[in-house]
Amino acid sequence: MKAAIIANPASGKDIRRIVAHGSVFDNQEKVRMVRRILVGLAAAGVRDVLYMPEGYGIVPRALSDLEALETPVNVAPVDIYLHNTQEDTINAAALMQQEGVAVIIVMGGDGTSRAACKGARKTPILPLSTGTNNVFPVMAEATVAGLAAGVLACGGVTIDEGCREASLLEVHVDGQFRDIALVDVAVYDDLFLGSRAIWDITKVSQIVVSRCRPDSIGLSTVAGQLMSISPEEPRGLALDLDPDFACRVRAAIGPGLFADVGVSRVRQLLPGDDVPVGLTPCVLALDGEREVEVRRGQSASIRLSEDTMRVVDVARVMEYARQRGLFLRGAQVCYAN
């Protein structure tokens, strides 16, 4: 009966508010979301909740204004040293997994979800969208998301029933595993990480995706205009880009930001397939953010992983809960003909 919450105070505030038209996701709204999540968790029967401490104090603020729950819930922080970087999310998720939480609710964008998955590869996560490019996180009402997470934590629906397996990408440098991506990896013609977020598509020479849809946003939507791949499908796509190539794809690569992208080659991937990085030196952007520097003389590759992450499917959990009557109280409902 133990769940966890990671709320990133920095999500929804990066440079894409300047170079594109991204919205700012206010931390006060995250506080309100956490309140509703806690109410949902308590209604499902969760009695212990761990959370990631951070500078803004999202969870403590939510607790300070939260009216008394019907059933008390013990809410406590995990003990981590704060770096005010993604390391906090990685370390918090790792400790939450060690503490045996059944599910981790992650509030952020693709980058926050990726950091949580790096720390807790064996624990199901429920990623709620509060970021910029939200391909991996889902849009769900926080009350219902908390309720679904609570049903899983309390065993009303099993992990196998309520979760889907999501594909991953692995980055290798000189044959050694370096990092993961949940949605896409882009080869970026630059030497430094800089502001991390990328928006200049002319500097991107390759894109590898584990999922793609035409109605998505970000770099994966370039592939999504050519083919749809759902998160649970064990396949991916590798695209070679060429600004001078005749075949061009118009894609929404950021909020309010379109680009015509020349795609010279498309290759389908199966789990275990490797894609060599054709440019060095370069920077590899993972889920839209520059993370890995490949220096001159190094070799790098991107692999569609044979491993997967378990991601909570809110609708599936709630449908199983309905079928089992988990929230029916009193006399049975009488249906008229």
Total-model pTM: 0.91
> Strand, coil or helix: what is 206?
strand
Rounded to whole angstroms, how far apart are CA atoms 213 and 211? 7
Q: At what angle do helices 314-323 and 142-153 cross, to 10 degrees?
A: 60
Look at residue 314 and tell me whether its pLDDT is greater than 50: yes
Among residues 191, 131, 136, 183, the alpha carbon closest in space to that of 8 is found at 131
Q: Are the beta carbons of 51 and 74 closer than 8 angstroms?
A: no
- Fold of domain 2-155: Rossmann fold (3.40.50)
Q: Which residue has the higher pLDDT, 233 or 131?
A: 233
Q: Which two tokens stand for residue 58?
A: 């999202």
β-sheet bridge partners, residue 37: none
| pLDDT computed for residue 10 by the predictor | 84
Residue 224 DSSP class: H
| pLDDT computed for residue 151 by the predictor | 97
Q: Which residue has the higher pLDDT, 225 or 68?
A: 225
Q: SS in 3 state form for 26-51?
A: CHHHHHHHHHHHHHHHHHHCCCEEEE
By DSSP bridging, strand 176-181 and strand 163-173 are: antiparallel
Q: Are the beta carbons of 179 and 190 closer than 8 angstroms?
A: no
Q: Are the beta carbons of 7 and 34 closer than 8 angstroms?
A: yes
| pLDDT computed for residue 199 by the predictor | 72
Continuous segment of H or E residues that includes residue 318: helix 314-323
Look at residue 315 and tell me whether its pLDDT is greater than 90: yes
250-277: pLDDT as tens digits: 999 888 889 999 999 999 999 999 999 9
Q: Are the beta carbons of 211 and 234 closer than 8 angstroms?
A: no
Query: Where does 168-307 sit in CATH, by number?
Result: 2.60.200
| pLDDT computed for residue 217 by the predictor | 87
| pLDDT computed for residue 255 by the predictor | 82
Confidence of residue 335 (pLDDT cuts 50, 70, 90): low
Mean pLDDT of 312-332: 90
Rounded to whole angstroms, how far apart are CA atoms 270 and 272? 6
134-146: pLDDT as tens digits: 789 988 999 999 9
Report domain extents, the chain.
2-155, 168-307
- Looking at this protein, which amino acid is placed at residue 173? V
24-50: pLDDT as tens digits: 668 999 999 999 999 999 999 999 999
Phi and psi at residue 234, to the nearest 5°:
-80, 60
Residue 229 DSSP class: B
165-224: pLDDT as tens digits: 999 999 999 999 999 999 999 999 988 766 667 778 899 999 999 999 999 888 999 999
Look at residue 64 and tell me whether its pLDDT is greater than 90: no
Confidence of residue 244 (pLDDT cuts 50, 70, 90): confident
